[in-house]
C-alpha cells in the first residue's frame, strides 16, 4: 500500500498480503481483522525507517503493518506530499 496514504484512503487485506510482515503482525491481523478481502479506511499512517504503521478507522487505536494491505485505488502522487511524514523522507523537495 501507499505508505503516504491520507485519511479516508481505502485499503484491503488480501490472502496474499496477510502472509506478509513479522509474526507479531500476523497475530494482530488474526486478532482484529478476521475477514480477507474486506475494505478498510485509513485513519492515518506513521512512516518509519523500517516499516510503516497504518491505523484504520474501523479498528481504533490499533497499529497494523502497511505490508499487510493493498490500495483499493491509487492516491494521486501529488497528494502524497500532503502527508506529514513526506517531507522528512523525501528531502523536503516541493
Domain contains 3 = no
Please list, in sequence order, all residues whose beta carbon lies within 8 angstroms of the beta carbon of residue 21, skipping any fewer than 6 positions away: 51, 65, 67, 68
Domain contains 22 = yes
Domain contains 1 = no
Give the model confidence (pLDDT) of 15-74 as tens digits: 999 999 999 999 999 999 878 999 999 999 999 989 999 999 999 999 999 999 999 999
For 4-72, the DSSP string reads: TPPTT-EEE--TTGGG-S-HHHHHHHHHH---TT-EEEEEEEEE-SS-EEEEETTEEEEEEEGGG-EES
Structural domain span for residue 73: 10-89
Q: Which residue has the cell 484512503?
A: 9
Confidence check: pLDDT of 82 > 60: yes
pTM for the whole structure: 0.91
Number of domains in the chain: 1
Amino acid at each position: 500500500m501507499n505508505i503516504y496514504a491520507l485519511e479516508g484512503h481505502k485499503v484491503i487485506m488480501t490472502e496474499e498480503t496477510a502472509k506478509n510482515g513479522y509474526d507479531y503482525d500476523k497475530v494482530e491481523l488474526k486478532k482484529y481483522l478476521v475477514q480477507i478481502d474486506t475494505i478498510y479506511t485509513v485513519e492515518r499512517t506513521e512512516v518509519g525507517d523500517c516499516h510503516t504503521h497504518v491505523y484504520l478507522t474501523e479498528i481504533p487505536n490499533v497499529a497494523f503493518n502497511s505490508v499487510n494491505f493493498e490500495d483499493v485505488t491509487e492516491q494521486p502522487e501529488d497528494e502524497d506530499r500532503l502527508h506529514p511524514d513526506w517531507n522528512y523522507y523525501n528531502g523536503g523537495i516541493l
